């Protein structure tokens, strides 16, 4: 096991990503952030909290998306269902999809398919904590990446969060 990001580095990386998102926005009325269930939610919760602190008293529109029924690997076994919480339309909005690790791109492709149930966005951008660069199976790239790493197929990236794992770090297994 190798540590990619310590708890302190993780906090700094999230803060940097939030500042990058803020740099590219003048208005927040047409912006929504959507976290991808289940693992992207811990990361997206942090991003939204940080951004809301920066733009107070305004608040970012935030939703959580379950992509279970949009996955193309559902034939390989049943996946645990998560709750989708998007009580708003994304019609003509700029959507920032947030996930913890970008690997093959299939999760993001499924998320984009699932998003269409909530309207047709004007733009979709992708924010990830870890980008496993040379592992894509579909042509998807992150607009915002906390850290890009090169891995081999047998390695696994695990993001640990206090709320779920009792500690915070990103490790390579």
Predicted pLDDT of residue 83: 81
Strands 2-5 and 169-172: antiparallel
Write the CB contacts of 22 (distance below 8 Å, at least 6 apart in sequence).
51, 54, 55
* DSSP per-residue letters across the chain: -EEEE-HHHHHHHHHHHHHHHHHT-S--TTEEEEEETTTHHHHHHHHHHHHHHHHTTS--EEEEE--GGG-TTGGGSPPPP---B--S--TT-EEEEEEEEESSSHHHHHHHHHHGGG---SEEEEEEEEEEGGG-SSS---SEEEEEE---TT--EEEE-HHHHSS-EEEE-
Checking if the pLDDT of 38 tops 90, the result is no
> Is domain 2-21+30-73+80-172 annotated with CATH 3.40.50.2020?
yes
pLDDT class for 68, splitting at 50, 70, 90? confident
- Quick: pLDDT tens for 147-171: 999 998 899 999 999 999 999 999 9
């Amino acid at each position: 096991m190798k540590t990619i990001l310590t708890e302190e580095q993780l906090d700094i990386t999230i803060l940097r990503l939030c500042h990058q998102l803020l740099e590219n926005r003048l208005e927040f009325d047409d912006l929504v952030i959507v976290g991808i269930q289940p693992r992207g939610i811990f990361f997206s919760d942090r991003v939204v909290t940080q951004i809301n602190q920066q733009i107070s008293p305004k608040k970012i529109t935030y939703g959580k998306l379950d992509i279970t029924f949009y996955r193309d690997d559902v034939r390989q076994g049943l996946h645990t269902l998560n709750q989708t919480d998007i009580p708003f339309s994304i019609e003509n909005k700029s959507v920032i999809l947030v996930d913890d690790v970008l690997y093959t791109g299939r999760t993001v492709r499924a998320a984009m398919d699932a998003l269409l149930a909530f309207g047709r966005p004007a733009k979709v951008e992708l924010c990830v904590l870890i980008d496993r660069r040379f592992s894509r199976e579909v042509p998807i790239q992150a607009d915002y990446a906390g850290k890009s790493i090169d891995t081999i197929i047998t390695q696994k990236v695990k993001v640990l969060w206090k709320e779920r794992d009792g500690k915070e770090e990103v490790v390579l297994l």
